[in-house]
Chains A and B, each alone.
Chain A
Amino acid sequence: MGSQFVVEIQDASIGYSMKEPLLSSINLQFSKGEIVAIAGPSGIGKTTLLRTIAGLVPPLQGSFSINGKKGALRGELGYIPQRLGLVRHASVYHNVLLGALAGHTSPWFPFSTKAKQLTLEAISSVGLDHKIRTPIRRLSGGQQRRVATARTLAQRPSLILADEFLGELDEETMNLVLEKVTNYVRESNSTLIVVEHDISRAKKMADRLLIMDDGRLNPFVSSPITMEVTK
């Protein structure tokens, strides 16, 4: 019954127009407890692939399944977009609570003491206790990334999709964020799929590295995944 894969993509084409799909005939599987980095030239469709897995863009063709179902259930999937997707005018607490609510309450009754508890724990794990009431717009770029990480940690999803979530972070913050997320993935046996432009960083964090090129930029390539590196 249940597939061993958390995400399974079969014969899929993705993009915004049937005439010019960004990527076509892709077959990919992501297993439990795995950290996968996706790298490739810009404009190739890495972000669109992530957004399609997240259910934000419908696939043009083929099938996408998450935990054996067509789409993720509430709270099952944590998504950190390139621009982090934080509510800029709301506080750190508010933003992290949004993650906790998705993971631990019902959509029509989004109140629970457990969610509040998890929110406080997640904020303190990324070291932002002293900024708990500060609006996001007053935080530095690095602090905002820590909030986005805390939001996902408070949610406790079984699949995390992160789009260049390390950005241009300083070494110290990058190590902290990376450590928190990888620890969570290892402990909870969940899956992390991360789009990363810096290949050396991608190799460092991931169990598996997918390098993409669909032949548009290199006419001799026939498969969208040109290289798959497994540690």
Chain B
Amino acid sequence: MKSRYLSDADKSLNNSENPIFSFWFTSRWFLLIALLIWLSVIVTNGMVDSWGRLANGGENLMIFIDESLLPPDWSVIEPQAYPVCTEPERLDFTCSTAWIGVVETLKIAFVSTIFGMIISLPLSLFAARNLNPLWISYPCRFILAASRSLPSIIWAIFFVILVGLGPLAGILAMTVYTIGYLGKLQYEAIEGVPRPPLDASNAMGHGWLERSFGVIIPESANGLISQAIFMFEYNFRHGTVIGIVGAGGIGYYINLYLKFLQYDKVIAYLVIIFIVVLLIDYLSILARSFFTEEGDITRPSWWGVFLPASMIDLLKPK
């Protein structure tokens, strides 16, 4: 056999008589993971001055839950005293701070996802390596990386300084973050488009417009739509946080009651956010399932939101 046809794996098998090498070869993954765990423990130990603090954690948690959190104060879903609620009695919950906050956060998330996608899609088409030379794709990647490098809460602080308190700052902050985050997901989806259609397009002599809108976007459309829906869900979850710095939404009320140490109201808001997130999560999985290939995914069920995929398969009726 000629040596140039030997692959690396063949060569390593030839070394298998050496006992140290063979021990390393068989247990290398185990040893690497053990090394990583050992390193993490050493680094943590260097940062923690007293491990005894952990012992009090459980007790403190019980006191906090018992004295401050429970029971949740559900007055947050009652109409506010001012401004006076003009809705009929059945709909008076829509005058509550929880409803106003959630709806505002949803609006911010929706609008910023749409604006973000409008800007990120062209940018990601320019950032994709399979469509453009390096001198075009790298500057675009730089722009996307820059807008993603700061978390949306930092962008929110920045925009609160620029345009003042309120939802406008929230929309701008989330839009900028969406451009960076969604843009990265999009150019990765674009770069994942299989080679043959691009080859055929290149050979035929298509221009950039035809290649982008005729081949790339239709071929990756499912991924792009599914990512935009995911981004909306992500923006809602993060929208609850940016309100804390005054950029509108339910976070504003959470911050307000945190300042007054009214944790029972805060926990009521958190329960509401949790329920809305679960609902959006479910709708997001459902919506995304329409954009994946038939047969690859079945329509989600309620328990799919909570359970890992392997358990859902077991629970499904045969």
Contacts and interface: CB of A to CB of B under 8 A. Distances in A.
> Do the two chains bind?
yes
Contact of B205 (A75, A82, A108, A137): A75
Main secondary structure of the interface of A (DSSP, over half): loop
Interface in A83-116: 83-90, 94, 97-99, 101-103, 106-108, 110
6 nearest A-B pairs in the assembled complex, by CB-CB distance: A107-B207, A85-B200, A74-B205, A79-B203, A85-B196, A102-B204
Nearest to B210: A110
14 contacts: A72-B205, A80-B200, A81-B200, A83-B194, A85-B196, A86-B196, A87-B197, A89-B219, A94-B214, A98-B204, A98-B215, A99-B204, A107-B206, A107-B209
B201 interface: yes
B202 interface: yes
A54 B195 CA distance: 14
Given A79-B199, A86-B197, A87-B197, A101 B206 contact: yes
Nearest to B215: A87
B221 interface: yes
Interface residues of A, number: 39
Contacts of B210: 98, 101-102, 107, 110
B219 A101 contact: no
B219 A108 contact: no
A159 B221 CA distance: 32
Nearest to B222: A89
Nearest to A81: B196
Nearest to A71: B205
Interface of B: 194, 196-210, 214-215, 218-219, 221-222, 293
A158 to B, nearest CB: 12
Interface in A32-57: 51, 54-56
Nearest to B203: A79
A144 B203 CA distance: 19
A195 to B, nearest CB: 14
Contacts of A194: none
Contacts of A157: 204
Given A89-B221, A90-B219, A110-B207, A101 B200 contact: no
A85 B207 contact: no
